[in-house]
């Protein structure tokens, strides 16, 4: 162990950093490559969202007693639980891989894994195959799509990260709404195997193709992030050994802050809060006498109104600070559940859906902006992975606790109380957090050996070398 550390540091000492050639500073009116990257990420989001959409739609054919499978809901539920748990475990790992190797190889791996998993799901004949292909392979695929790929937007936008994140989440929401009927239509017309083969080849092919145009960070194509100014120090290319050391020290410094632990906790509480509502609002409406057709619109309305929240929350978080925005979103998510205690008619459920959708959408989308405010522009995919771990754990908790509460009491009310409890607990945890006005670990580089630090001298050296290289080229 000790010899390996010594080797790493020795490597670090003998490596001379080389600068990225500074590109022309971003002209505000000119099309910036970051927007192309954002469009690619939005497409990847839609493909990633199709996994959870497929999960919802495949339950009915799997459960159909007259169909090919005829599995009972207990077994399908166990597979879904496996999917959540594997996803929760995989999220931090995929985040770490993203920080270490960059988002581009993750996108390529995600495309291949997506195609393989979906095609394999099309061939399922035994339950163990479904557990493996869906519960394990697709959960890892979704973690790749949702964590390192999504988090890479952080490096491409020095300014307007809020808008970029909002657009990403909103496009994911719109895409999800469009993908769901598409998958359902395919299942009805061409059957199980062809549907998943088509989805696998289509989605996986799109991801692999987009990898050709995608780059993990601006320095990979000698560009600068959107909003960079000429005064910014040039990005320095370091050896892999030094990058690894810097990542390790940065992550250690992050883990020592309360925010590192509280942010996944908040995401978990928020997801547990809305998870209960998403699962039980329709059975509740039917229980109250609302017709099935009318009740089906509740989720559709929640999805539509959530797009507003998804888009606006990161933008507002960037302008006003993340704490008040996240607290407001979670408070709306929690307080609107009160409507459900007295709702009997369809219009009351629709009113609830609209209001709840705003809070629900805002709860989930501001994390990349919050991470920037707390931890600066460092490699943050690992942190985002832990936040996704919290989110998926929250959904699992919502399923278990909500079900148990309804089971033992025979009423939806305790589950609704739990939902509110989770959302309001999230508000309290946010309230207890530090202000996002300053970066929490400004001195994290102090723990690095001198040759791995970003000193002013090193930045100047890099800038001089870049200018010389540019002059030589001219």
Partner 1 sequence: MSISKRIPVPFTFAVVLAVVLALIIFFGAWAVSADVGAQRTLAFGLPGTTPTLSGGNLRDPNSGPYQVGRLVSTVENSDTWWGKAFLRACPLH
Where along the sequence are the contacts to partner 1 (CB under 8 A)? 55-60, 63-65, 72-74, 76-77, 80, 84, 180-181, 184, 249, 252-253, 255-256, 258, 261-262, 265, 268-269, 272, 275, 278-283, 286-287, 292-293, 295-296, 299-300, 395, 397, 399-408, 410, 412, 418, 425, 428-429, 432, 446-447
Q: Which is nearer to partner 1, 214 or 412 (CB)?
A: 412
H or E element that contains 236? strand 236-237
Q: Which is nearer to partner 1, 95 or 268 (CB)?
A: 268
Return the C-alpha torsion angle 96, 381, 100, 6, nearest 10.
-70
Q: What is the DSSP letter of 446?
A: G
Q: How far is the CB of 286 from partner 1 (least distance, A)?
A: 7
Residue with tokens 């987009």: 210
Q: How far is the CB of 369 from partner 1 (least distance, A)?
A: 21
Q: Which is nearer to partner 1, 105 or 182 (CB)?
A: 182
What phi and psi, each to the nearest 5 degrees, are found at residue 235? -70, 140
Quickly count: other Cβ atoms within 10 Å of residue 25's Cβ: 13
> If DSSP codes are grouped into helix, strand and coil, which group holds residue 321?
coil
Q: How far is the CB of 257 from partner 1 (least distance, A)?
A: 9
Q: Which is nearer to partner 1, 66 or 231 (CB)?
A: 66
Q: Which is nearer to partner 1, 106 or 327 (CB)?
A: 327
Q: How far is the CB of 261 from partner 1 (least distance, A)?
A: 4
In terms of Cα–Cα distance, which of 97, 131, 294, 107 is closest to 206?
Answer: 107
Cα-Cα end-to-end distance for the chain: 48
* Burial classification of residue 322, based on how many CB atoms lie within 10 Å of its CB (0-12 exposed, 13-18 middle, 19 or more buried): buried
Q: Which is nearer to partner 1, 296 or 455 (CB)?
A: 296
Cα 411 to Cα 102: distance, rounded to the nearest angstrom: 48
DSSP string, 261-314: HHHHHHHHHHHHHHHHHHHHHHHHHHHTT--HHHHHHHHHHHHHHHHHHHHHHH
In terms of Cα–Cα distance, which of 348, 353, 335, 355 is closest to 289?
Answer: 348
Q: How far is the CB of 402 from partner 1 (least distance, A)?
A: 8
Q: How far is the CB of 283 from partner 1 (least distance, A)?
A: 4
Q: Which is nearer to partner 1, 9 or 463 (CB)?
A: 9
Q: How far is the CB of 233 from partner 1 (least distance, A)?
A: 24
Q: Which is nearer to partner 1, 180 or 322 (CB)?
A: 180
């Amino acid at each position: 162990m000790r010899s390996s550390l010594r080797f790493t540091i020795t490597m670090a000492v003998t490596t001379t950093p080389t600068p990225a050639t500074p590109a022309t500073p971003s002209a505000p009116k000119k099309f910036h490559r970051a927007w192309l990257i954002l469009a690619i990420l939005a497409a990847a989001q839609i493909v990633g969202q199709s996994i959870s959409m497929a999960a919802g739609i495949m339950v009915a054919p799997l459960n159909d007693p007259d169909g090919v499978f005829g599995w009972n809901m207990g077994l399908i539920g166990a597979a879904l639980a496996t999917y959540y748990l594997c996803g929760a475990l995989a999220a931090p790992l995929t985040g770490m891989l993203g920080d270490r190797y960059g988002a581009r190889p993750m996108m390529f791996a995600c495309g291949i894994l997506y195609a393989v998993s979906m095609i394999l799901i099309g061939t399922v004949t035994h339950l163990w195959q479904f557990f493996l292909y869906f519960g394990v392979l697709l959960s890892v695929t979704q973690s790749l799509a949702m964590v390192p790929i999504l988090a890479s937007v952080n490096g491409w936008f020095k300014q307007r990260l809020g808008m970029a994140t909002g657009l990403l989440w909103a496009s994911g929401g719109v895409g999800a709404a469009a993908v769901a009927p598409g998958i359902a239509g395919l299942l009805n017309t061409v059957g199980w195997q062809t549907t998943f083969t088509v989805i696998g080849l289509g989605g996986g092919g799109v991801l692999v193709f987009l990898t050709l145009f995608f780059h993990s960070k601006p320095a990979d194509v000698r560009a600068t992030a959107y909003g960079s100014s000429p005064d910014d120090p040039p990005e320095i290319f370091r050896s892999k050994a030094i990058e690894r050391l810097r990542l390790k020290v940065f992550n250690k410094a992050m883990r020592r802050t309360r925010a590192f632990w509280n942010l996944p906790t908040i995401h978990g509480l928020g997801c547990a809060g809305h998870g209960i509502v998403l699962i039980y609002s329709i059975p509740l409406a039917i229980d109250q006498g609302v017709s099935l057709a009318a009740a089906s619109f509740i989720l559709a309305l929640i999805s539509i109104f959530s797009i507003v929240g998804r888009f606006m929350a990161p933008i507002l978080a960037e302008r006003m600070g993340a704490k008040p925005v996240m607290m407001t979103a979670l408070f709306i998510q929690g307080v609107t559940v009160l409507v459900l205690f007295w709702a009997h008619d369809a219009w009351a459920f629709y009113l609830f859906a609209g209001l709840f959708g705003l809070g629900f959408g805002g709860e989930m989308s501001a994390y990349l902006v919050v991470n920037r405010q707390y931890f600066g522009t460092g490699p943050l995919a690992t942190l985002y992975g832990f936040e996704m771990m919290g989110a998926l754990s929250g959904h699992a908790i919502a399923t278990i606790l909500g079900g148990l509460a309804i089971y033992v009491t025979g009423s939806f009310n305790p589950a609704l109380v739990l939902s509110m409890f989770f959302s309001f607990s999230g508000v309290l945890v946010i309230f207890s957090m530090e202000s996002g006005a300053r970066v929490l670990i400004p001195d994290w580089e102090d723990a690095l050996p001198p040759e791995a630090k970003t000193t002013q001298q090193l930045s100047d050296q890099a800038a001089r070398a870049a200018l010389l290289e540019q002059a030589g080229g001219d």
